[in-house]
């Protein structure tokens, strides 16, 4: 029986567990290793039964990663597993197809069979030993509206809670601003006095030098 390493980027298609389960049932072999990338416990908790059953590893989302690009951790893991785990015969991979060709070619050169989970037949699929069609899951319109509303509310709240640069809570905005202005004015006045005192001291010294020189 063919032993598969299953490497799934959950964010590449916003993959639901239902779609994932259908895809797994479509591969001819045994899941010997599994890892899920971009795993979020709240959004992907329906994968928990699979994680426990297969002892799957998880990798948390990368905050600054562009969604259209492949997760480099997945590439590194794939090549490492191919080189170090002799019991793995094949890979079942779901990822962003952009930039995935290099990983596919590397695995095939190492003698591994590669099956891709994709939303539709493409040039990338032709480079593999096979593919399984997966339904791409997107939030419905209501979810999108709710998410957009939530983001707007968060932005509004962040603007209301704090004054720019001060970190002062805006419970009494005008009073706090007045205090800050007064403190700045006092600091500036102190600087002016300090400068004046220094200049006066320098003038006295200069006058003293002149008196010593000529008298």
pLDDT of residue 196: 61
Angstrom distance (rounded) from CA 40 to CA 60: 7
Angstrom distance (rounded) from CA 105 to CA 85: 18
DSSP characters over 138-183: ---HHHHHHHHHHHHHHHHHHHHHB-TTT--BGGGHHHHHHHHHHH
pLDDT digits (tens, 9 = 90+) for 95-138: 988 778 999 999 999 999 999 998 887 888 888 999 998 887 65
pLDDT digits (tens, 9 = 90+) for 142-187: 444 444 444 454 444 444 333 333 344 444 555 666 666 676 677 6
76 has pLDDT over 70: yes
Pairing between β-strand 57-59 and β-strand 30-37 as defined by DSSP bridges = parallel
Which of 37 and 64 is assigned the larger pLDDT? 37
**Global pTM value:** 0.63
**Which of 42, 50, 41 shows the shortest CA–CA distance to 20?**
50
Find out whether 48 and 129 touch, Cβ atoms under 8 Å: no
pLDDT of residue 205: 61
Angstrom distance (rounded) from CA 121 to CA 106: 21
pLDDT digits (tens, 9 = 90+) for 202-212: 655 655 565 55
Cα torsion 140, 141, 143, 145 to 10°: value is 170
Find out whether 61 and 38 touch, Cβ atoms under 8 Å: yes
Q: Bridge partners of 115?
A: 92, 130
Angstrom distance (rounded) from CA 51 to CA 53: 6
Dihedral over Cα of 10, 13, 16, 22: its sign: negative
Angstrom distance (rounded) from CA 30 to CA 2: 6
| The pair of three-digit structure tokens given for residue 9, joined into one six-digit string | 């980027």
The mean predicted confidence, pLDDT, of the chain is: 77
Pairing between β-strand 113-118 and β-strand 130-133 as defined by DSSP bridges = parallel
Find out whether 70 and 61 touch, Cβ atoms under 8 Å: no
pLDDT of residue 8: 95
Looking at residue 47, the DSSP 8-state letter turns out to be: G
Find out whether 30 and 85 touch, Cβ atoms under 8 Å: no
Share of the chain above pLDDT 90, in %: 40
Place of tokens 């596919």: 104
């Amino acid at each position: 029986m063919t032993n598969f390493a299953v490497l799934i980027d959950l964010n590449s298609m916003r993959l639901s567990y239902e779609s994932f389960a259908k895809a797994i049932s479509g591969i001819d072999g045994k899941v010997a290793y599994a890892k899920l990338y971009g795993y979020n416990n709240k959004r992907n908790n329906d994968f928990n039964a699979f994680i426990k059953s297969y002892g799957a590893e998880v990798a948390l989302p990368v905050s600054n990663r562009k969604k259209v690009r492949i997760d480099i951790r997945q590439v590194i893991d794939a090549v490492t597993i191919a080189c170090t785990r002799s019991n793995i015969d094949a890979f079942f991979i779901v990822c962003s197809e952009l930039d995935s060709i290099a990983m596919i070619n590397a695995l095939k050169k190492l003698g591994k069979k590669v099956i891709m989970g994709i939303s539709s037949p493409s040039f990338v699929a032709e480079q593999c030993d096979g593919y399984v069609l997966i339904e791409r899951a997107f939030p419905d319109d209501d979810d999108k509206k709710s998410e957009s509303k939530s983001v707007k509310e968060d932005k509004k709240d962040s603007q209301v809670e704090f004054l720019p640069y001060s970190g002062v809570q805006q419970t009494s905005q005008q009073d706090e601003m007045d205090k800050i202005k007064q403190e700045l004015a006092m600091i500036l006045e102190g600087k002016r006095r300090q400068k004046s005192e220094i200049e006066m001291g320098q003038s006295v010294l200069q006058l003293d030098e002149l008196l010593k020189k000529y008298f």
